[in-house]
Every structure is written in structure tokens, then in C-alpha cells.
Amino acid sequence: MAGLIAAGDLQQAGHDVLVIEKGRGVGGRLASRRIGLATFDHGAQFMTSRDPRFAAAIEQWLRVGVIEEWYRSTNDESAGHARWRGKPSMTALPKYLARELTVLLEKRVVSLRCASQGWVAALDNGDSVFANSVVLTAPVPQALALLDLAELDVSEATKLRLESIEYECCLAVMALLERPSGLPPPGSLSPTEGPIALMVDNQIKGISVTPAVTLHATPAFSLARWDHDRQASGKELLEAAQPWLGSGVTEFQVHGWRYSKPIAGEQEGCLILHERPPLLLAGDAFAGPRIEGAALSGWAAADRLKSALALT
């Protein structure tokens, strides 16, 4: 989300922009998957808006039909805030944001080095890309793995700040059911104990034509089982969910989100690691661990980069 927002804002300002994405599609944790006739949102389930700039973007996305309201909470600290979901699923929004961008899919950056007047990104297929500026929006540990901070002359204080940023991991189960689940509308439930943090009925949510549920394990369960057999962990989670599901499972898959949510991040919307040529870090570890935070971080990075490029 941060990368797509930054790229779109920079392109709108007249800059030539290239997005490099290691996955098969854009969006990161705004992810959906098909299994048979079922559709699953298996990453981020919804977004909320508090910031005026993001609220205005929500209104625009509503008008073009790539999101819609799912429900409004009545029993937590964000009571009354609409939960917006992708339409028809969460991937609709990142696909819309990428529609006019140049995107290299399934290309992983393996190294990034400073060159004369810019940066050279080496890709896993042997190609390289030159750019006069870079915005890195991968999770901070992955971004740092591409950089030699000593060569960039980054202060020890900044190194320690970045290296101290930690993330929760999350195991996500996508299960096809024999019949509709027992989850009540709006199809979302967060158990107060046990290994499951969130259960979502994708049929009640309105994205799947057949009964299909997504289970998100708690951070503690996910961390403890991260290196275990995924199918065994999935069965354990489905057994724990049975009192609510009330249906047999015909098929399931498990996905692991290694960097599901930053535990503690930076207060600034982005961070400039190198002034000339510019290199910035952005993402949900900088402006808040939500989709809105990632978007605000993307805008912050674009604004800082536009200012930096105007001085060159």
C-alpha cells in the first residue's frame, strides 16, 4: 500500500516511476486467493479511516467501486468507524492503484548500491535497474538486508532504531466448508482466548459464493508454530474453530505472513536514509500498523522525495 500510494503520487507530479514487486501481484497483505469456487481475503480484512487525507481517498475509491462498507463496530475503542472492504475482494484496491503504473512483477531486488547520481538495484534474474532515487517500502528487516548502512554513513542511533523494529507473524488458514458456518453477521469474530485471533466468514462478508472461512492465528501461536508443519498447524486451528464453524472442512490451505504487523514503529511518516541521491524508507512501521498508516507513510515519502528532487 505504501509503495503504490507513493508511486502514484510521484507519477501524478510528473516523475517517471517504476514499481518492483517480488510477488505475483501487487498489494502485499491486501491479499485475496481463489480455491475452487471460493474466494478468500487472507491478509488484511478491512480498513478504517481517521485522517482527512485518507478519508478523502476512501470517498474516491467508493465512487469508482473498488471498496464498499462491510460493517461498523459497536463494541471497541473504534466504535462507529466504518470497516471498508475491497470490492469484490481486498486485491481490488491495489490493482486499481497500480492500473497506470509501470510494475515489474515477480522480480526480487537482491542488492541495492549507490552509484553516480543514483542507485542500482540488482534483480534475482540477473538484470539491474538504475534510478536517481529510491523509496523502499518492504518490511524494515527486508529493506535493511539490501543496504550496507555503514556505506551509507547512517548514524548508530538510526541503525539501532531501525534494527529494533519488530513484527508479529501470522499463520492464516483458508478453509472451504461443507455448509455455511455458524458465525453471526457481519461474519467476523475475535475469540478472547485460544490460538485464534480472528475468524472471518468470506461468504457472509460478501466476497465468496460458497462457504469459506479465514482464520488468523494469534501472534503467540504463529511464532511458536512458524517452523512447524503448516498443515498440522492448520488442522489444530480448525479444530479450535469448530465450536463456531459448525461445519466440516472439505479443503484448506495455510499461508504464513512473516511480517504481519509492526509491534512498535517510528513516529515519522518516513525516514530519509540518504540525501543525495535520495533513499527513503516507508511503510506501516512508520505511520501506524494499519492500511491507513501505510498509505499516510506513502504520501509522506512522496512529499519528502518531491521536495528533495526539487533541490537537485
To which residue does cell 489444530 refer? 236
Q: Are 28 and 1 in contact (CB under 8 A)?
A: yes
Q: How many residues does the chain have?
A: 312
Q: What are phi and psi of 189, to 5 degrees?
A: -145, 135
pLDDT, residue 266, reads: 82
Q: Is the pLDDT of residue 197 over 90?
A: yes
CA 202 – CA 266 distance, rounded (Å): 33
User: 167-262, what's its fold?
Assistant: Polyamine Oxidase; Chain A, domain 2 (3.90.660)
Cβ neighbours of residue 44 closer than 8 Å, sequence gap 6 or more: 29, 30, 31, 90, 291
Q: Average pLDDT for residues 45-61, to the nearest whole number? A: 96
- Helix extents (H) in 89-176: 92-97, 140-145, 156-163
Confidence of residue 116 (pLDDT cuts 50, 70, 90): confident
What are the pLDDT digits (tens) for 76-98?
555 578 999 999 999 999 999 99
pTM of the model: 0.94
- Residue 103 has a pLDDT of 98
CATH class of 2-30+47-165+265-310: alpha beta
When pLDDT is averaged across residues 164-169 and rounded to a whole number, the result is 94
The conformation of residue 184, written as its DSSP 8-state character, comes to P
Q: Given pLDDT bands bounded at 50, 70 and 90, which one contains residue 154?
A: confident
Ordered by start, the domain boundaries in the chain are: 2-30+47-165+265-310, 167-262
Beta bridge partner(s), residue 121 = 112, 129
